[in-house]
Amino acid sequence: MRTFIHHNKGAVVYGQKTIEYSLLYCDRKTMEMAVHPDGAVIVKVPVGSDITLIEKKIIKRARWILRQLNYFKQFNPKTPDRCYVNGETHLYLGKQYRLKIAEGTENSVKLSRGFFHITCRNEPTPDVVKKLLNQWYLEKAQLQFVESMDRCWQKFNGLEFDQPKLSIKRMKKRWGSLSDKGTVTLNTDLIRAPKECIDYVVTHELCHLKYHNHSPAFYQLLDAVIPGWEKIKHKLEVSMV
């Protein structure tokens, strides 16, 4: 474990962009830069490093930093607010279905012939419809995400890691994440995306088992596992609008 001595915050200007960063002076021999999912740029440097030289190196890697920041920004969920009323479209595995809401003898959600048929025991208010549909999404996510993990893990059998546990929950700013303990968490809303997009997110997180940041080595592994992943990532971004 390296010992951090102290840290400063700083910023460099690259073209019309300003890159803010946190500078950590620590017991190490080389400089290391990382861009985190929350947009934090962390620069670790040896104690006594010259700030002018540090900033020159940051500027030298500015294009890479901005590319990572843009990547995380685009990766955020974009699903707009819904009203949960008759005729409104909702996604499931990349396809659109319209809501057909009615009052009946039981609460139920059924998918049939291009429609979500939602039946409510009591008055079908938007809040009730939302609750029923979200519960249905969660049940489907638990099934589909496990299948996705099993599919994707087959490509990682050679790694010296055990298959990670899977967690499902709603997240405001991420489609997926990997915890320090090795648990892959997927956003419930990802169930609205096509299966190949779900597999992409799962694979992306599995690559982090070996490479914890978005280094060139990380992307080499991602390229090897999913050639052409950029197109799938773009499909995820545009399909969830």
Domains in the chain, CATH or no CATH each: 4-75 (no CATH), 89-239 (3.30.2010.10)
> Which pLDDT does position 2 carry in this prediction?
43
> Which pLDDT does position 1 carry in this prediction?
38
Per-residue model confidence as pLDDT tens for the chain (241 residues): 344 444 578 899 998 889 999 888 888 889 999 887 767 888 988 988 899 999 999 999 999 999 888 887 765 665 567 899 999 999 999 999 999 999 999 999 999 999 999 999 989 999 999 999 999 999 999 999 999 999 999 998 777 788 899 999 998 878 999 998 889 999 999 999 999 999 999 999 999 999 888 888 888 899 999 998 988 988 887 777 5
Phi/psi at 43 (5° precision): -120, 115
Helix axis angle for 62-75 and 229-239, nearest 10°, is 50
Q: Two tokens at 85?
A: 């009323």
Residues in the chain: 241
> Which pLDDT does position 90 carry in this prediction?
94
> Which pLDDT does position 86 carry in this prediction?
94
Residues 66/70/72/78 CA torsion (nearest 10 deg)? 170
> Which pLDDT does position 7 carry in this prediction?
58
> Which pLDDT does position 74 carry in this prediction?
65
What order of strands is seen across the sheet that includes strand 166-169? 166-169, 184-187, 176-178
> Which pLDDT does position 160 carry in this prediction?
79
Q: Cβ(206)–Cβ(153) under 8 Å?
A: yes
> Which pLDDT does position 5 carry in this prediction?
46
> Which pLDDT does position 99 carry in this prediction?
96
